[in-house]
């Protein structure tokens, strides 16, 4: 091996890739810097120069859970709070990741300020829109995922969170995890991402969520999935196409409210004025469902009737009218004998004054 090439490899590590684990460094320089020597040679060279430490001996053998057979049979969703932006060392962000169990393929990964209901719904909406509806979702028991009546007890199967309601509408089984060991695949994924993505975001110069998310979407995930994903045992996908389904209506947060005397519905800091509805003198006192879509739009419903649509500020976007703006069907009144007309019975008349 030429001495100049060894010096070049060591120089790349010192000046550009310091702190990277050996395998990540080797894969990157082989792909982007034209390094053609073996992984073992690079590792020994870095260890000999004192740039990396020898790995510790692993603990006792553990048997991993067998993967699901089909792509989309079970997805893992998790949020990892970490200092993902090394150029902003005093800040922490949350990486929301959705990964397939059968293939280890990351289907969604984006940074958010916090692990919130909105962050999770946006991630799931993107996955369903791109791949279809999965058979099941596996997650921890975070507050967005489940309601737990008592700490350490099983989750409630009747009181669903907003995310739980969305998964119910989609027909997706939501499986809770009761221990870190049960989330082994998710935990290993987070470890891999923390070991690689932090360094790559630093190298890219990312100092904002927008810049970091652009890099993750356009650069990182392509390489990550090519490196770590495997083929599913079952070649038939378990995702179900969401054709003909209004995903924007499904992926929304809902709240039940009562219409006030002035035909105004209040939800949080916003107030929504309901316009005059055909066939009703007033909507005051009605129990209605307020829907908040991921794009910020709002709507108010009573059964199949849409009482109003509003923008993100609560301003009316349109006059919705009953049953999605369609006129109500007119049903014929029943008669005693088909084809015959009958006069309505007359009320008794007061006698005429003479």
> Which 3 state secondary structure label does DSSP give 255?
strand
List, run by run, the mean pLDDT of 10-residue segments along the chain (354 residues).
82 88 89 88 87 72 74 95 95 96 96 96 96 95 89 86 95 86 74 93 96 97 95 95 90 95 94 93 95 95 94 81 46 44 47 50
> Which pLDDT value is given to residue 187?
82
pTM of the predicted protein model: 0.76
> Which 3 state secondary structure label does DSSP give 175?
strand
Phi and psi at residue 52, in whole multiples of 5°?
Answer: -135, 155
Give me the architecture of the 75-228 domain, per CATH.
2-Layer Sandwich (3.30)
> Which pLDDT value is given to residue 343?
44
d(CA 178, CA 164): 17
> Which pLDDT value is given to residue 36?
87
Inter-residue contact 254 to 289 (CB < 8 Å): yes
> Which pLDDT value is given to residue 59?
58
């Amino acid at each position: 091996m030429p001495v100049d090439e060894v010096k070049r490899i060591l120089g790349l590590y010192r000046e550009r890739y310091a702190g990277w684990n050996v395998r990540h460094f080797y894969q990157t320089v082989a792909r982007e810097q034209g390094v053609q020597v073996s992984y073992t040679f690079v590792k020994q060279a870095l260890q000999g120069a004192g740039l990396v430490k020898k790995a510790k001996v692993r603990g006792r053998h553990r048997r991993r859970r067998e993967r699901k057979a089909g792509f989309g049979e079970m997805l893992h969703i998790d949020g990892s709070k970490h200092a993902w932006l090394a150029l902003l060392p005093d800040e922490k962000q949350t990486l929301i990741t959705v990964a397939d169990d059968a293939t280890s393929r990351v289907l969604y990964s984006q940074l958010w300020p916090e692990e919130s209901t909105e962050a999770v719904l946006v991630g799931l909406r993107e996955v369903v829109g791109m791949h279809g509806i999965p058979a099941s979702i596996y997650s921890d028991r975070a507050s967005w995922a489940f309601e737990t009546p008592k700490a350490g007890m099983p989750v409630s199967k009747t009181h669903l969170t907003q995310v739980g309601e969305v998964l119910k509408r989609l027909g997706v089984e939501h499986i809770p995890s009761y221990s870190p060991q049960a989330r082994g695949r998710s935990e290993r994924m987070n470890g891999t991402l923390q070991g690689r993505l932090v360094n790559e975001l630093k190298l890219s110069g990312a100092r904002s969520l927008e810049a970091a998310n652009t890099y993750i979407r356009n650069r990182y995930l392509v390489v990550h999935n090519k490196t770590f994903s495997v083929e599913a045992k079952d070649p038939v996908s378990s995702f179900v196409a969401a054709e003909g389904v209004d995903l924007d209506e499904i992926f929304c947060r809902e709240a039940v409210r009562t219409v006030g005397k002035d035909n105004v519905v209040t939800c949080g800091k916003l107030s929504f004025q309901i316009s005059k509805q055909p066939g009703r003198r007033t909507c005051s006192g009605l129990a209605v469902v307020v829907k908040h879509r991921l794009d910020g739009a709002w709507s108010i419903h009573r059964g199949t009737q849409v009482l109003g649509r509003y923008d993100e500020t609560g301003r009316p976007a349109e006059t919705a009218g009953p049953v999605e703006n369609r006129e109500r069907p007119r049903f014929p009144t029943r008669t005693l004998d088909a084809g015959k007309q009958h006069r309505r019975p007359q009320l008794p008349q007061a006698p005429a004054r003479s």
